[in-house]
Amino acid sequence: MTQREPATDDATVPTPGIGDQFPALTVETSMGERTLPDDYEGQWLVLFSHPGDFTPVCTSEFVAFEQRREEFEELNAELLGLSVDRVHSHIKWTEWIRDNLDVDIQFPIVADDQGAVAERLGMLHPGAGTATVRSVFVLDPDGVVRLRLTYPMEIGRNIDEVLRSLRALQTSDADGVAAPADWPNNETFGDRVLLSPPGTEADAEARKAEVADREDTDYYDWWFVTREQ
């Protein structure tokens, strides 16, 4: 297994943030070696860490992710778990889930038993030794970080929110629009999307004329216009 050494200087090796290229990492998983992000080129990747195998909240999360896996795949997205457990622990844990909860985990889990990947990605839980926080990285098909979420050890993730965010990112990329709060179930605007605000005074002046007669838009002001998907 080849992994980057743990970062020793945050100023030199910063944790990847939104808009950054995900660092090149070769990792061992429960389904063989993976090279990140290259092995997922052309696909979206949802990389999520958990504090440890054989723990109740993590088990509930992995069951939930697997139960929604086909929805991720329909969005051209692959799932990849991670914790600082060894690969044989991952294998035994997924066997336990299959035998006791009748759910067959069909996505790989990174075995980061030295903690190098978790430290590189800022996943280590403060004050909890080598345990990883519940981080989520969403990478686009070019390996760019598009979303980061972090949950504490005590709270399981909302899989609906991960899927919602993925759909919103893909809609934004495809149509050059933004998604309002709670999209696509916003209490005021429903599943309508938002046009990006104009960048110049001239564009702001022209905005109303451009959208006033369009049936698919609602004009509130030059900086606030909604549109049907």
* Domains identified in the chain and CATH numbers: 25-158 (3.40.30.10), 177-227 (3.30.1020.10)
The answer for residues whose C-beta is within 8 angstroms of residue 207's C-beta and 6 or more apart is: 198, 219, 222, 225
Could you tell me the two tokens for 141? 């098909």
Q: In which residue are the tokens 């919103």 written?
A: 168
Mean pLDDT of the 113-127 span: 84
Count how many residues are written for the chain. 229
pLDDT at 115 over 80: yes
Q: What is the pLDDT of residue 152?
A: 86
Each residue of 124-147: b (16+ CB within 10 Å) or e? bbeeeebbbbbbbbbbbeebebbb
Q: How far is CA 127 from CA 132, 133, 137, 153, in A?
A: 11, 11, 22, 12
pTM of the model: 0.90
Phi, psi of 226 (to 5 degrees): -105, 160
User: What pLDDT was estimated at residue 5?
Assistant: 38
pLDDT digits (tens, 9 = 90+) for 193-206: 999 999 999 999 99
Answer whether residue 7 shows pLDDT above 80. no
How many C-beta neighbours within 10 Å does residue 207 have? 19
Among 45, 46, 47, 58, the active-site one is: 58
Mean per-residue pLDDT for 166-174?
Answer: 98
Q: Residue 67 — very low, low, confident or very high, per pLDDT cuts 50/70/90?
A: very high
Name residue 132's beta-bridge partners.
124
Q: What is the pLDDT of residue 138?
A: 98
By the 8 A CB rule, do 1 and 28 touch?
yes
Tell whether the model's pLDDT for residue 119 goes beyond 70: yes
Structure confidence by residue, pLDDT tens digits, 33-47:
999 999 999 999 999
Distance CA 67, CA 20 (A): 30
Confidence at 12, pLDDT banded by 50, 70, 90: low
Give the three-state DSSP class for 119.
helix
Tokens of 199: 């960048």
Has 58 been annotated as catalytic? yes
Cβ distance 147 to 165 under 8 Å?
yes
Q: Distance between CA 218 and CA 111 in Å, rounded?
A: 50
